[in-house]
Chain A
Amino acid sequence: MIEPAILLQILWTGIAMSSYFVLLTVAFALTLKVEKLWNFAQAGLMGVAFFAMFYAMNALALPTWAGIAIGLGATIAAAVALEVWAIGVLRARNSGGLTFFIFTLVFSQFAAYALTILFGTEPETIYPSVMSPVRILGGVAVSDWDLLAVATTLALMAALWAFLRFTRDGQFMIAVSDNAKLAEIYGISAKRAYVISGVIAAIFLTAGIFLYGTRAGVTPDVPLVLVLTAVIGALLGGIGRIFAAGVAAVSLGLLQSFSILFIPSKWQALLLYGVLFGALILFPRGLPAWRIWRLRRRLGPATPPAAPEPLTEAGE
């Protein structure tokens, strides 16, 4: 029998550790929703963000705020450049999904190779030590890193929710995600919406990889693995549901944390990939229970169930 204190500790640690998964998943889900793009180039952007911060704080010995500012600036610049000079060009040519996939994946690999030449293959962390002060609260060990990670994630999620709900640009992004051509007829610039979603994704990626890089070593290959986890979260949440993707990322984090009670750690990655494959085969458009809940909320109890309506691509 496992003691409740141990279960609580695993639960808390799982929630804290899933914080960067949430940020990376939301970044992926946002571009998938607004741009309809499986943007594997986000792995390359993560690499740019991490190594820019690492270089600024270690080689240049700049303070944390300056390192983050440099990382954020570099990532946003790279994201905008990608959107304007690469993805936008392919979109204008009406390129197919395969072309986008090849480009985004190959871009990430290009970034990884370039970063390997510049920084080598040794795992690097933002700070020399990954340890942070710990306090015991109700029998659960809570570190400063845990609190920073959870607070950062909650703050960014709240800011994104407010941005999408209360700003014109946010609402325009939702409109473009619903129907880009129709939105343009109403005078909304789809290009602007794509760039803004890229910038927001860059902010989330920088925050996510900062948290990851203060907790574990990063090599140029690591971001590609992280982006795969983001793909799983985005799929489980359902295409077009940003915040549900965040919840799915927490669920995956908890699944991994609790799985240590039952399976050896070397099989944990297989568990993730199994979930990815299974989720796609069984629920290619997200978990069905959530779809039913959304359908009921939309139609209401008195509405006849005849109207076939797309369930997935609508605004959050």
Chain B
Amino acid sequence: MEYLASTILLIGIFVILAASYNLIIGYGGLNTVAHPIFFALGAYTSGLLGAATGLPAVVCVLAGVAVAMAASFVLAITTLRISGDYLLIASLGFQLGLLQLVNNVEFTGGPAGLSSIPDTFAGPGRGAIYVVICTAAAALVVWAIWRTMNGPFGRAVRAMRDDELACAALGRSLIGMKIRIFALGCGAAGLAGGIYAYYFQYISPEQFQVAQSAEILTMVVLGGIGTTLGPIVGALVLVVLPQAINFLHLPNGLVGPAQGIIFTALVILFLFLRPGGLVGTAGAGAAH
């Protein structure tokens, strides 16, 4: 039962991550690979605050969201002069640098990780409670993104993605839009981090490597980049499918790489055979 709860919770967390990443990269056209670090900031802030102060979990998770949004502001402000490939590489430096910082300072637990995160819900119903919370959070994030992207702001964001110059000529503030997209997307990643930290009660820098960016990107591409349903389908498929590996009774050392091969082979296949993803239109994946 706990295994099932963990799997559903992971689906929920990856739906949040994939949907928010899709907002930034798919709708906004802002090529970044720093999403895992905002996930990490949410997780570490919630975990550290919970462990040190004993504040209610909701407050700690919201603090994690705030820190992730503040960090996204730093990335957005410092990279306003650059876009496209340059933004991608700058975000790579941002991700790697901050993670190195988390890895090296003592109060985060360093490479050994943070394990003193308090247990909010004890008892046999713990998994079910977290599943409900996480599913509600995922639904809220997906609904918020759908709502935002189907309003005037969303149309402006898509216009900015398709032609920055034309969008600016129409009087839209590109800087303001970029900052808001980053804040919304990265704040959602921070929310996922907070839930993750409280459920698993253990976090370490290894869980937030840049490779995770490719994992989330895989979900977005496989589902359909720039669509509302795509990240949900992508997260569902790519969390559930590798679980099948667990039932093959492979040696422990092979499970991770075998799951990785499934992930990467799928994304390569989809890039070439169905670039629009499972629910996207043909060619949407190659839009940028």
Listed in ascending order, the chain A residues whose CB lies under 8 Å from chain B are: 38, 86, 89-90, 93-99, 101-103, 105-107, 109-110, 112-114, 116-117, 120-121, 228, 231-232, 235, 266-267, 269-270, 273-274, 276-277, 280-281, 284
Contact = CB atoms under 8 A, between A and B. Distances in A.
Contact of B271 (A103, A113, A120): A103
B31 interface: yes
Given A280-B90, A284-B81, 6 more contacts: A96-B288, A101-B88, A102-B217, A102-B221, A109-B214, A110-B264
A117 B288 contact: no
A270 B100 contact: yes
Nearest to B29: A98
Contact of B90 (A98, A105, A228, A281): A281
B93 A269 contact: no
B108 interface: no
28 contacts: A38-B89, A93-B275, A93-B286, A97-B31, A98-B25, A98-B31, A98-B288, A99-B275, A99-B286, A102-B221, A102-B267, A107-B264, A107-B268, A109-B264, A110-B264, A113-B258, A113-B261, A114-B261, A228-B96, A232-B93, A235-B89, A270-B101, A273-B96, A276-B92, A276-B97, A277-B78, A281-B79, A284-B82
A109 B100 contact: no
Nearest to B254: A117
B82 A281 contact: yes
A280 B83 CA distance: 11
Contact of B100 (A117, A232, A269): A269
A105 B210 CA distance: 10
Contacts of A276: 89-90, 92-93, 96-97
B107 interface: no
A97 B84 contact: yes
Contact of A117 (B86, B93, B221, B261): B261
Given A99-B275, A109-B211, A113-B261, A280 B268 contact: no
A105 B285 CA distance: 16
Interface in B14-40: 25, 31
Contact of A277 (B31, B93, B217, B256): B93
Contacts of A120: 253
B214 A106 contact: yes
A102 B101 CA distance: 26
Question: Could you say which of A96, A102, A103, A274 has the most chain B C-beta atoms within 10 Å of its C-beta?
Answer: A102
B205 to A, nearest CB: 12
Nearest to B100: A270
Contacts of A121: 253
Given A106-B267, A280-B90, A95 B257 contact: no
B288 A110 contact: no
B164 interface: no
Contacts of B260: 109-110, 112-113, 116
B261 A101 contact: no
Contacts of A116: 256-257, 260
A105 B89 CA distance: 12
Question: Could you say which of B89, B211, B275, B287 has the most chain A C-beta atoms within 10 Å of its C-beta?
Answer: B89
A95 B89 CA distance: 19
B84 A273 contact: no
Interface string B252-288: 0110111011011101100110010000000001111
A270 B82 contact: no
B135 interface: no
Contacts of A105: 214
Nearest to A86: B272
B268 A106 contact: yes
Contact of B85 (A97, A102, A103, A270): A97
B88 A273 contact: no
Contacts of B243: none
User: Which 8 pairs show the lowest CB-CB distances between chains A and B?
Assistant: A277-B93, A96-B288, A273-B97, A110-B264, A113-B260, A276-B93, A98-B288, A280-B90
